Structure 1
Amino acid sequence: MRIPDFRRGPAFWRTPLFRRGSSASRSGPGFSWRGLGAALLRIGAVWLVSTVTMLVLAGVLPDFRLQSAGGDSATVIGITAAVGAGVFGLLSALVWPILVRAFLLVPALVLGVLVFFLNGSLLWLALSLVPYGRGSTDPTMAVVVAAAMSAASSATNAFLAVRDDRAYRHRLARIAGRRRRREGTGAPAAALGTPGTVFLQLDGLGHGVLSEALEAPAGGTPLMPAVAALRARTHRLTRWRTDWSSQTGASQLGILHGTNEDVPAFRWYEKESGEVVVSNRPTSAAELQRRAVERTGDRGLLAQDGASRGNLFTGGAKQVALVLSVAARRGKDNRSRAGYFAYFSDPANATRTAVSFAGEVVREVAQSTRALLRRERPRVGRGGLYPFIRAFATVVERDVVVAAVLGDMLSCRTAVYADLVGYDEVAHHSGPRGRDTRQVLRRLDRSVALIAKVAERAPRPYRLVLLSDHGQSHGETFEEAYGLTLEELVRAGSGLQVPRSAGRTPSGSEARAAARAALHRPEDGRQEPPRKPARHTGPVVLASGNLGLISFPDVPGRLTRERIDELRPALLRTLAEHPGIGFVLVESAEHGPVVLGKGGAEHRLESGEILGPRDPLAGLGVGAAGAVLRTARFPHAPDIMVNSSVDPGTGAVHAFEEQVGSHGGLGGEQSDAFLLSPLELSPPVVPGAELVGAQAVHRVLRRWLAESAEPPHARTRSAPPEGDAPGAAEPLPAAYRG
């Protein structure tokens, strides 16, 4: 989608021409014969291009014809093409929105595939309704022809719209105004003089990677020129440090709802319910949001005329699209798939996105094949459904979210928070600085440029804030490095059966030997007499990047270090001494939360006492101990938490999942997120201070919304209040307390 270069100020949008129910006469400001003539010319031009496209396709495609078997005159063939193109355009305008709404119940990936077949069906129907000639096409060929015609008409329409700013703005303003009247929400007219705010989250993009992408190489341009221009002219770049759980579930819940208390990881086991909570599962996201609202007594950051697009949580917004926490609900105000209808109801959008979707699938297959042939390391599997998942994240969701944000700005919403997840998805499989991820960053930059351009010309002024929820750390997986998974290591250290292949690895054999010695069992398993299976045979082992969580569901409550040593004498020492594990967190009945490291090292978090040769948390930053202690006090913290080892020179970690770019724990760049904010807003923190935790970011964003709501003459603050220091809260106006 291309936005024309608007040459008139925002006041143009508020003329009677764009007001419903205007009293202007047909010859007054509300009607223009010139505008009507231009509209008819555009329709004629698009129709002509579609007709010519159909004629060309009929000449080059073997299974598509516009004449009978005996042949027809050139006049009849031309009339057939013209009428077919006209009927196809009319059906697309009338029938397509109904079809898209009907198919909103199917999964999004299926909808992306159906776009082609729906378009082809409309063309087949159009040819069957043509009263002249005997045009026909094979059903498969109809899909190709329809896609080509939609692309040609879309390109023509876009070109003409660029040449006619007035018509383009008229259409966008009319659509936006109609939507606001239908929804009955939005900022009052008096608020249009105050700035709105768009928070655009570039999921998983760390501070370091972004900084490199904004630097121009010698004689070249930055990887992300639009974002680089913002930083150079109008914005400041600030680093912020995430919580121990450096992942979207914890960060976005804290940013949007002001608390991520009791969110120890991306997924965790809750003993009282026997359920595994997964942040990107609709029911879990809804429950996490409910708990956060109950804990704070506040609906969220976007409660005041806000919109939430492509997020895990609503943030209190009434207008949502592609929001996971309401994906399982059905209702007029919370249908998260409404964003799909708003976008795909335009057949040109649908065709363009579907073609890009197919192209992205082919690109991923080619890139993964190249990595395989070059034997690149580290590498994880990229087959199965992953090419389609990547294409959905980098194309479909991006297009729908960006279109929704543009609509929100044209509808004058006060606050919009949107998440673009493409970089994070690709970086998991290709690495944070891989060649594939660089291409994704270029396309994200174009999306930012589009949003920034529309923000400058929207009916109300807008401030664009870019931020990330975490970074990513590179490294080979734990299994690739050591030949067994974390679960297999836990079972081996517990004296339980493990796969034979894992038992033959150095890590597996050492863990089994340690467990047998601790349990006073023979070293050779073949000499061990038959025994009844132990009661506690099923530890639940979950992974969140390079953070591992171990729970024993058969034992109620949180197990202490002393109790674990009784039940599984070798487990804690096996984990702490393993070369792929950096430290182990466990609760001690005597000393409270304790971090265990190699060589018998201990860090007693509540007292700060360190035993042994070296602090297990050394090298992880000054805030590591506080972050781990905070998580240790969560009610749903697991019995044991482990963090992978970290290479001090490169920052490489070992993910316990199949990811070469990971996040979720400590180590490397995963905890380094960024905040790119306009200079006209107060700095995020006082000079010399560090912004720590998603809850602190929430307070900053709230402050900025409050500043934007102030009259222009009252905006005099150039520094944040002392209340923005980490751990402190800032009073907010009542309008922003939800």
Structure 2
Amino acid sequence: MEPDGDAEARPALPEPVRVGLRVLRDYRPTVARARALLRSTVTSFVVLSTTLWLLPGVTASGLVPLLWLVGLIAVIGAVLRPLLFALATALGGLGALAIGVCVQAVVMYVALRLDPGAHVAGFADAFAAAWLAVALAAIVNWLADAGTDDAFVSEMLWVMTRVRRRSEPHRRPAWRPRRRQPVAAVLPPDRQAADALLIIQLDGVAAPLVQWAIRAGNLPTVGRWLRSRSHRMTRWHTGLPATTPAAQAGLLHGEVRRVPAYRWYEKATPSGNGARSTGRLMVTSRPRDAAEIERRLSTGRGLLRDGGVSISTAFSGDAPTSLLTVSRAGLPGPFTRGYAAFMASPYGFARAVVRGAGQVLRELYEARRQRLRGVQPRGRRSGSYLALRPMASLLSDLNVSLIAEQMASGTPVIFCDFLDYDEVAHHAGPARPQALAVLEALDQTLGILQRLAAEAPRRYHLVVLSDHGQSQGATFRQRYGESLAQVVARLAAPKVRPVAPDGRLAPPTPVRAATTAEAAGPVEEWGRVNTLLTEVAGRGGATGTATRVAVRSRTDGGEVTLGPAGREDAATRTDPETVVVASGNLAMIYLPRHPGRLTRERIDAVVPGLIDGLAAHPGIGLVVVDSAAGPLAIGAHGCHRLRDGQVDGDDPLGPYGRRARQDLLRHQAMDHVGDLVVISAVDPGLEEVAAFEELIGCHGGLGGWQTEALLIHPADWPQQGELVGPDAVHRQLLAWMRQLGLRQPDDHADAR
């Protein structure tokens, strides 16, 4: 057929607009939506009666006007929500967010204006009424469902159905009744029932904690898997550092040498003319740095290279599709219907907002309760943490929506990180009631994903793992009244030995404190926010422009840098004498004015007393430094030579477990390790550690449960011995993928 000349002459609509029109064209009522509409009507009557009673600016006189208002809201919502969803789809990014904020108010306002028996003072009153109604409806629906997520699951199934219809080879005539059918029914026979893999990472969840929670009955989904023998749970040892970026570098790329901590300092090296180049602080939650780190990690043979997708991860694993991935935040990403559907849905964005508000109130209550009861240790749970707390609920539900879309599309391998527990445990403590409540919610999310997987075109096998655990304890500053950076500045200060009147030399006296740059702020909690804003700001159109204008004072080359990372980076560029970079109870100390990795002999000559002073501090368990005899682990009363295991005096590695020596040796071989590596002391009775950051629950170093991660997989899948290090888990995942036919052959690709 010859192309239509008039069609060629007409300018093509922008892709977002065409997608939005296609979404609007595809929208059709279903039986499930009719049932949801009936239930919504009953709920609306109860909710609106309460709302009109509580808010004086919105009224409806009598029962009939109220019933009329309920009907109007139901009809207008049914008509407007597809329109608003299409608009959110076309706008994308913050456009979907804005629609999600306003959709309830728009529906409420239009209904109130059309109802002759109702009165509304203005749009602000309608907005307040709408969100009060959303909150009440969430409570009513929760009670009606006995705490289940049926409404949310139904909405996610609707998203999957929209994706399924997009894959239909032939569309039915518009007049023919449409019956709900499994997603697999619309796929070619060769794609039906094919195996696929869904890997869920529960960030920061320790294996011993999960075992205890299952025995207590707090994790019914995982407990059912294990008791029915459908799945098996094992542990794997993370090694050092016990951080998310280091673990994901190993899990997704099979490389563990490039990420020595959550953040680190790259020392300057002499240039050809003798001048020193500028050192740089690398922060893995900063998109620009994560992109640079992935360039070093990637060989093109990552875990997700064969059609996989990464969601909410630090690195992509060479996935063709990356969503909310830190290392690719500044790159143009593919359009995702799951994102727009979530933001415009009353059971998506609205549900997350209501849950987020409830979590903020609970944080305030629990923080006050801890203070009144004198609970120790406890940290500060306000400021930026409290402001960012609702993001956990929003992004967790958004992750589910994105996973649902990818499963409906038949994506062979999906890797998604849920960060909720890790964030709360940092501030509340890993085994405190608030953290355990989040863990229970994650168990519920696993149940939701299992239900959604049953509707997918492929047979998804679920693997659940964590990247590390967490250890609890009062912080270093809380215990000793000063930060590690202040201790280092005092010990590294230039000293003189004045002469006493009797001619004897007095003890050395510091002339001044050494100039020290410290990187110990809470950068991890800002990572996901900066990733989302950087991704949106990098797009064109009104959404990208508005985002760039809103955060223009906190951008660096197009990257959004909210939080302390930018400030800490600037401090390291002021030519300090020492740089102290903290990751949990692990810290690395650099002497940036002396290029290269320094040995103990060199450090003792340049900064005498620094190593011995740190090792003698009661809050420091060991100091690791290179030497002519190889790496040394130095404690207050002994030294362990890591290369051959020789111990002089008391063994400083005793409190850190049987793998400590190998963990430290492996860490010393990584790129950009500090001149000194410091790990805080471990309480032998409670196994508590002291974080160098202001976090009650921490990870990054050694001691406690932070190195004990979990792995849950189908019970009939073979496991290749004990798993030590994330690169070992990477090899195990590759073996399972080859077993399922999800890994394409590549000469020597997976040999390492």
**Are 1:553 and 2:592 counterparts?**
yes
Residues 195 and 383 of structure 1, relative CA distance in 2, 3 Å threshold = same
Q: What is the CA-CA distance between 1:533 and the residue it aligns to?
A: 9.2
Which residue is equivalent to 1:488?
A: 486
* Deviations 1:615-655 (CA, angstroms, capped at 9, x unpaired): 32234233222221222122311111111111233221111
Residues 172 and 84 of structure 1, relative CA distance in 2, 3 Å threshold = closer
Which residue is equivalent to 2:381?
A: 382
> Secondary structure of the residue that 2:657 maps to in structure 1?
coil
Which residue is equivalent to 2:104?
A: 119
Distance in 2 of aligned mates of 1:40 and 1:325: 43
* Equivalent pair of 2:290/2:315 in contact (CA under 8 Å): yes
Distance in 2 of aligned mates of 1:695 and 1:259: 6
Paired residue type of 1:61: L
Q: What is the CA-CA distance between 1:258 and the residue it aligns to?
A: 1.1
> Secondary structure of the residue that 1:668 maps to in structure 2?
coil
* Deviations 1:44-63 (CA, angstroms, capped at 9, x unpaired): 76567657754664455321
Distance in 2 of aligned mates of 1:616 and 1:261: 25
Which residue is equivalent to 2:618?
A: 579
* Equivalent pair of 1:55/1:78 in contact (CA under 8 Å): no
Q: What is the CA-CA distance between 1:409 and the residue it aligns to?
A: 2.4
* Equivalent pair of 2:266/2:281 in contact (CA under 8 Å): yes
Distance in 1 of aligned mates of 2:513 and 2:285: 41
Which residue is equivalent to 1:567?
A: 606
Pick from 211, 230, 236: which aligns with 2:225? 230
Distance in 1 of aligned mates of 2:498 and 2:703: 29
Distance in 2 of aligned mates of 1:521 and 1:88: 86
Paired residue type of 1:195: D
Matches within 5 A, 1:80-91: 82-83=71-72, 85-91=74-80
Which residue is equivalent to 1:61?
A: 55
**Are 1:672 and 2:672 counterparts?**
no
Aligned residues: CA RMSD? 4.0
Q: What is the CA-CA distance between 1:66 and the residue it aligns to?
A: 4.5
* Equivalent pair of 2:159/2:341 in contact (CA under 8 Å): no
> Secondary structure of the residue that 1:193 maps to in structure 2?
coil
Which residue is equivalent to 1:447?
A: 445
Which residue is equivalent to 2:308?
A: 306
* Equivalent pair of 2:430/2:470 in contact (CA under 8 Å): yes
Matches within 5 A, 1:11-26: none
TM-score by length of 1: 0.77
Which residue is equivalent to 1:243?
A: 239
* Equivalent pair of 2:283/2:289 in contact (CA under 8 Å): yes
Distance in 2 of aligned mates of 1:210 and 1:169: 27
**Are 1:472 and 2:467 counterparts?**
no
Matches within 5 A, 1:171-182: 171=158, 173-178=160-165
Which residue is equivalent to 2:130?
A: 146
Which residue is equivalent to 1:501?
A: none
Which residue is equivalent to 2:329?
A: 327
**Are 1:362 and 2:339 counterparts?**
no
Which residue is equivalent to 2:654?
A: 618
* Equivalent pair of 1:390/1:422 in contact (CA under 8 Å): no
Q: What is the CA-CA distance between 1:612 and the residue it aligns to?
A: 1.9
Q: What is the CA-CA distance between 1:359 and the residue it aligns to?
A: 0.6
Q: What is the CA-CA distance between 1:256 and the residue it aligns to?
A: 0.9
Which residue is equivalent to 2:212?
A: 212
> Secondary structure of the residue that 2:236 maps to in structure 1?
strand
Q: What is the CA-CA distance between 1:487 and the residue it aligns to?
A: 0.4
Q: What is the CA-CA distance between 1:566 and the residue it aligns to?
A: 1.3
* Equivalent pair of 1:45/1:156 in contact (CA under 8 Å): no
Which residue is equivalent to 1:343?
A: 342
Q: What is the CA-CA distance between 1:284 and the residue it aligns to?
A: 1.6
Pick from 690, 695, 703: which aligns with 1:654? 690
* Equivalent pair of 2:208/2:708 in contact (CA under 8 Å): yes
Distance in 2 of aligned mates of 1:611 and 1:170: 61
Q: What is the CA-CA distance between 1:665 and the residue it aligns to?
A: 0.5
Distance in 2 of aligned mates of 1:134 and 1:60: 15
Q: What is the CA-CA distance between 1:377 and the residue it aligns to?
A: 0.6
Distance in 2 of aligned mates of 1:609 and 1:524: 35
Paired residue type of 1:207: A
Residues 646 and 179 of structure 1, relative CA distance in 2, 3 Å threshold = farther
Residues 36 and 681 of structure 1, relative CA distance in 2, 3 Å threshold = closer
Residues 605 and 532 of structure 1, relative CA distance in 2, 3 Å threshold = closer
Distance in 2 of aligned mates of 1:175 and 1:514: 78
Paired residue type of 1:390: R
Residues 85 and 736 of structure 1, relative CA distance in 2, 3 Å threshold = farther
Q: What is the CA-CA distance between 1:75 and the residue it aligns to?
A: 6.4
Distance in 2 of aligned mates of 1:131 and 1:390: 38
* Deviations 1:160-219 (CA, angstroms, capped at 9, x unpaired): x9999xx9998455312246689xxx9985243332111111111111111111114xxx
**Are 1:733 and 2:748 counterparts?**
no
* Deviations 1:533-559 (CA, angstroms, capped at 9, x unpaired): 999853111110000111122222222
Which residue is equivalent to 1:392?
A: 391
* Equivalent pair of 1:176/1:407 in contact (CA under 8 Å): yes
**Are 1:643 and 2:686 counterparts?**
no
* Equivalent pair of 1:536/1:552 in contact (CA under 8 Å): no
* Equivalent pair of 1:644/1:655 in contact (CA under 8 Å): yes
Distance in 1 of aligned mates of 2:498 and 2:283: 31
> Secondary structure of the residue that 2:192 maps to in structure 1?
helix
Residues 458 and 514 of structure 1, relative CA distance in 2, 3 Å threshold = farther
Distance in 2 of aligned mates of 1:74 and 1:375: 52
Q: What is the CA-CA distance between 1:436 and the residue it aligns to?
A: 1.4
* Deviations 1:567-589 (CA, angstroms, capped at 9, x unpaired): 2101010011112111111122x
Distance in 2 of aligned mates of 1:38 and 1:492: 69
Aligned residues: 633
**Are 1:703 and 2:697 counterparts?**
no
Pick from 417, 427, 430: which aligns with 1:429? 427
Pick from 586, 589, 597: which aligns with 2:635? 597
* Equivalent pair of 1:467/1:673 in contact (CA under 8 Å): yes
* Equivalent pair of 1:65/1:137 in contact (CA under 8 Å): no
Q: What is the CA-CA distance between 1:444 and the residue it aligns to?
A: 1.3
Q: What is the CA-CA distance between 1:349 and the residue it aligns to?
A: 1.7
Distance in 1 of aligned mates of 2:459 and 2:120: 52
Which residue is equivalent to 1:722?
A: none
Distance in 1 of aligned mates of 2:160 and 2:345: 16
Residues 266 and 80 of structure 1, relative CA distance in 2, 3 Å threshold = closer
Distance in 1 of aligned mates of 2:258 and 2:498: 32
Which deviates more from structure 2 when the two are superposed, residues 172-181 or residues 698-707?
Answer: 172-181
Distance in 2 of aligned mates of 1:460 and 1:342: 22
Residues 389 and 153 of structure 1, relative CA distance in 2, 3 Å threshold = closer
Paired residue type of 1:123: M
TM-score by length of 2: 0.75
Residues 58 and 288 of structure 1, relative CA distance in 2, 3 Å threshold = same
Which residue is equivalent to 1:289?
A: 294
Paired residue type of 2:625: V
Distance in 2 of aligned mates of 1:89 and 1:624: 61
Paired residue type of 1:569: P
Distance in 2 of aligned mates of 1:557 and 1:252: 27
Q: What is the CA-CA distance between 1:670 and the residue it aligns to?
A: 0.7
* Equivalent pair of 1:54/1:85 in contact (CA under 8 Å): no
Pick from 259, 275, 283: which aligns with 1:278? 283
Which residue is equivalent to 2:257?
A: 261
Distance in 1 of aligned mates of 2:404 and 2:511: 70
Distance in 1 of aligned mates of 2:193 and 2:81: 39
> Secondary structure of the residue that 1:268 maps to in structure 2?
strand
Paired residue type of 2:311: R
